[in-house]
Chain A
Amino acid sequence: MSVTEQGLLERDKDTMTLNMGPQHPSTHGVFRVILEMDGEIVKTAEPEIGYLHTGIEKNCENKRYIHVIPMTDRLDYLNPPGNNLAFCLTTEKLLGVEIPERAQSLRVIMCELARIASHLVWLGTHALDIGAMTVFLYCWREREMVLDLNEEVSGVRMMTSYIRVGGVAKDATRPWLDGIRDFIDYFPAKVDEYELLLTNNPIWIDRTQGIGVLSREEAIDWSLSGPALRASGVNWDIRKSHPYSGYEKYSFDVPVYQGGDIYDRYRVRIEEMRQSREIVKQAIEKLPAGDYKTPDNKVSLPPRETLDTSMEALIHHFKLVSEGISVPKGEAYVPIEGPRGEVGFYIVSDGTNIPYRVKLRAPSFMAIPGIWELTYLASQEYSCPT
């Protein structure tokens, strides 16, 4: 009998069944968990999802490839550039187009800034739930800087849609590059500041160390990815194992910790913010000159000035605007390393300008099935000490 069938808030032996969410102060998003509590210890947690089911995959089936990109922004709304990139890389794999080096660097910069912004939201809200309001305010202070940079280059704070099939939406601007230089000088001291507030804080340590432990095997079995996997001692980062967008050119470390608890997941993310800043620094220093999108006019619009002189350019422009990109028949999957783990799109194309099927591999969704089983197994160990 599942916990739900027994009814909520019902006392059963020594434990109490408690409903958490979907509206709850610490669910930043809508997610319901049915908890079996023994005092303050969560013995089992049964997740219930679907409160934010949006049907994006279905919508993608009647949108042109270019129109899918704004939909991907809103999948994981803390990492829009990463989602754009995963979709574009998969489409580009089907198309077989080469992406100019400058476009690749711009994509990397956007994705790493998004990783920093995403980790800041995680850190801020997590600290807030434990009662550290200061960290929340500090994290948002730095996040606003990243959002301002997004707005400078793409016109939007969050849903940038900056990465497009064939390159990026527009070239880097001078204020944007200057802003990033300022940010990478400013940011490391701020990460130290968060660490000063939390890393040796006894309350933080009490409430994170040894809690929610996932062993190396469990983490792999439950298909975890990203920081959660690396905190359990698995050195797995798609940026290193299957480099894309020129990640092989940058030197950065992949932080790995062995504890598998919340504290180690915190340390992995803190270190990742520093490494992301390193990558952005290198990308800015070595930003190549050249095109910001592919010169292939079947994929990206020809430059505006050529439309007045070249009939061919005009035809390409008309075809691309009225019909969109036609992707050859086939199927492809390209994963990227998002802030939460492996983000990947599986696209089936039937040779038209509309994808036949788009399947998303979202890291948090893949991690959810493990919650129930893991807490259940943990409770078995808890009740039968050997």
Chain B
Amino acid sequence: MGLIEDAAERVGTEVNNLKLNVQDAVEAMAHEYAGSLYDSILTTKLGKVVGWAQKNALWPATFGLACCAIEMMAMANSRWDAARFGAEVFRASPRQADLMIVSGRVSQKMAPILKQIYDQMPEPKWVISMGACASCGGIFNNYSIVQGVDRVIPVDVYVPGCPPGPEALLYGLIKLQEKIMAEAGTEKAKKRAA
């Protein structure tokens, strides 16, 4: 009898010790992780979430104009890989695109078509003016080239260069993403989506 009671008592003590240990450990963990527990709960505005989603899924319209279009293709290609920024899905139809990269010189004959394609794109939409010609006419200051695409459509980001390298265009894309994020949830973003 004595042996069994002894054993039961010892087991009971062990269990109690374990319980205490666990309790201590949990308390220690709660104390230790208290800070980061609060960090892992996100509080944000819906507008910011929408902006975050939009900036990471910019779909450019397939719209190559001149020399810059070749560098734009290079940007989408394996070496520079615009997919890292979620902007590799070039859409053939402007109805499915929300980013227009004006890549090259815009002639007087092309300007109305460019405007039409821009109008066909659903809101919200953004425009990157790629290269010197699209931004200001570049070296072609003459009768046939529109001296800057911002005379026809609103431009968000200008990328300098003749032609800008793919890395420059990627930098322009990142700047546009920053702009989308900065605008997200504000009146500007609402106007853009309207």
Contacts and interface: CB of A to CB of B under 8 A. Distances in A.
B113 A51 contact: yes
B110 A140 contact: no
Q: Size range of the interface on B?
A: 20 to 34
Nearest to A125: B73
Interface centre among A71, A78, A121, A144 (most CB of B within 10 A): A144
Interface centre among A28, A51, A137 (most CB of B within 10 A): A51
Contacts of B145: 54-55
Interface residues of A, number: 33
Contacts of B140: 54-56, 59
A158 B64 CA distance: 16
A50 B117 CA distance: 18
A140 B77 contact: yes
A124 B137 CA distance: 29
Contact of B110 (A52, A157, A159): A52
B109 A144 contact: no
Majority secondary structure, B binding face: loop
B106 to A, nearest CB: 9
Nearest to A143: B74
B67 A74 contact: yes
Nearest to B67: A77
Majority secondary structure, A binding face: loop
B109 A159 contact: no
Contacts of A125: 73
A59 B71 CA distance: 25
A364 to B, nearest CB: 14
B78 interface: yes
Nearest to A49: B109
A30 interface: yes
A141 B74 CA distance: 9
Nearest to A141: B78
B64 A71 contact: no
A28 B71 CA distance: 12
B38 interface: no
Interface in B47-69: 61-67, 69
Interface string B113-144: 10001000000000000000000000111111
A30 B117 CA distance: 13
16 contacts: A23-B61, A23-B62, A29-B64, A51-B109, A51-B113, A52-B66, A52-B104, A52-B110, A54-B105, A56-B140, A58-B143, A74-B67, A78-B70, A140-B73, A144-B74, A158-B163
Given A22-B113, A52-B104, 12 more contacts: A24-B92, A29-B65, A54-B105, A77-B70, A121-B70, A140-B73, A140-B77, A141-B79, A144-B74, A158-B67, A158-B70, A159-B162
